[in-house]
Amino acid sequence: MKKKLIAGNWKMNGSLAANEALVKALLAGLATPACQVALCVPSIYLGQLQTLVAGSAIEMGAQDLSAHEAGAFTGETSAAMLREFGVRYCLVGHSERRQYHFETDALVAAKAQRALAGGITPIVCVGETLAEREAGKTEEVVKRQLAAVIHANGHCISEIVVAYEPVWAIGTGKTASTEQAQQVHAVLRAQLHAASEHADRIHILYGGSMNAANAAQLLAQPDIDGGLVGGASLKAPDFLSIIASAR
């Protein structure tokens, strides 16, 4: 059985001093985790993180990458640049990027493709808004979002990570119930199985107000292979407790 994966998403938070204190506290409490652990941090802190986590169980993640290889794309960061800093994972299509930066399914798919070509595992985020859930469109939305990535990436699809993040649960303190989360994860799992004979190896993470109190129950679901954790990843005791529940 594959190990679970717990990935923290710091979003646009941190400072040199705060990052150092947080990572040191995590390393002090981590010992040998039963799961895989990654931190997706603002790109400007990747160099600092690389030094802090060297030789530890914490793997490095970024929060976005360019869909282009190189060139005149001011402000963007390429897959090759991320690789140079030891980045293993990169979030792609986080709902905040879809919402505030107008990222389309096609762009998200292109970014996933660029990550894979550059040796980085994309953590492809999908999820419905509250209005879409209330309109009974949850399955349709997440399947459409994932289908774009499957279509663009063909047989490489077994190399991605998927994160189901209901938009209404991100940063709101509202978590999907274990039943709601498991139901969507099962749909995504079936879609991945139809696309690849190696779909078993794909992690499907749950994200959306995962915290120390609800993690164990969510992570016990058969199709929940880990968590993408925002707010709670900024507090060492909470993040460590989530990691401890992932076995």
The site for ligand PEP (CB under 6 A) is made up of 9, 11, 165, 170-171, 207-210, 228-232
| Pair of tokens at residue 31 | 């010992």
Residue nearest to ligand PEP (CB): 230
d(CA 87, CA 96): 21
Per this entry, what is the length of the chain? 247
Minimum Å distance from CB 182 to ligand PEP? 17
Q: Is 99 helix (H, G, I), strand (E, B) or coil?
A: helix
- Residue pair 217/238 in contact (Cβ under 8 Å)? The answer is no
Active site residues: 94, 165
Minimum Å distance from CB 47 to ligand PEP? 23
Q: What are phi and psi of 122, to 5 degrees?
A: -75, 135
Minimum Å distance from CB 72 to ligand PEP? 30
- Residue pair 133/215 in contact (Cβ under 8 Å)? The answer is no
Specify the residue, 103 or 165, whose C-beta has the smaller distance to ligand PEP.
165
| Pair of tokens at residue 147 | 């289908």
Specify the residue, 149 or 195, whose C-beta has the smaller distance to ligand PEP.
149
Specify the residue, 116 or 176, whose C-beta has the smaller distance to ligand PEP.
176
